[in-house]
């Protein structure tokens, strides 16, 4: 299977009805579906500036982090992490999506008009970003941003 096809299967497997999820992706003009967090993955949602800086740190350390979403306007960036992370996360200014929450997910491999898009699409392997590594990258990114702000 191709990367996009296996990514679709992996994401759809998180839906209560995977077939309905695939149908929604195919027919929704925005190319998005609502998927529940907390089963296959949680999402840590960072403010845009911190999120981009964190992603920059991560991509220098890892060949490829787990999937990463960005919303329209680049206001928030969501890192896919192992399930259960959201329930244990303590961090000021960081939103979480875990058990009992739903997120808008675009079809992998396709750009959606003006909405949520993938910065790093899933590859279908189920790989997620390690939350400890993500936290360390966030600290380094925050320190860099603070240095830039201080002039």
In tens, the pLDDT along 92-107 reads: 789 999 999 999 999 8
Note if the pTM is more than 0.85: yes
Residues comprising the chain, all counted: 151
**pLDDT > 70? residue 113:** no
Distance CA 135, CA 114 (A): 29
16 secondary structure, DSSP code: S
pLDDT score of 1: 46
Distance CA 45, CA 115 (A): 16
* CB within 8 Å of 72: residues ≥ 6 apart: 114, 115, 116
């Amino acid at each position: 299977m191709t990367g996009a096809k296996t990514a679709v299967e992996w994401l759809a497997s998180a839906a209560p009805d995977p077939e309905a999820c695939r149908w929604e992706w195919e027919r929704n003009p925005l190319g998005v579906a609502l998927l529940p967090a907390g089963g296959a993955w949680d999402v840590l949602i960072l403010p845009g500036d911190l999120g981009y800086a964190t992603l920059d740190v991560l991509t220098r350390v890892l060949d490829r982090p787990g999937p990463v979403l960005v919303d329209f306007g680049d206001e928030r960036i969501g890192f896919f992490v192992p399930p259960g992370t959201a329930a244990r996360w303590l961090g000021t200014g960081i939103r979480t999506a875990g058990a009992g929450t739903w997120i808008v997910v675009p079809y992998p491999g396709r750009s959606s008009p003006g909405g949520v898009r993938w910065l790093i699409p899933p590859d279908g392997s189920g790989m997620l970003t390690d939350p400890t590594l993500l936290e360390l990258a966030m600290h380094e990114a925050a320190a860099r941003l603070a240095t830039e702000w201080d002039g």
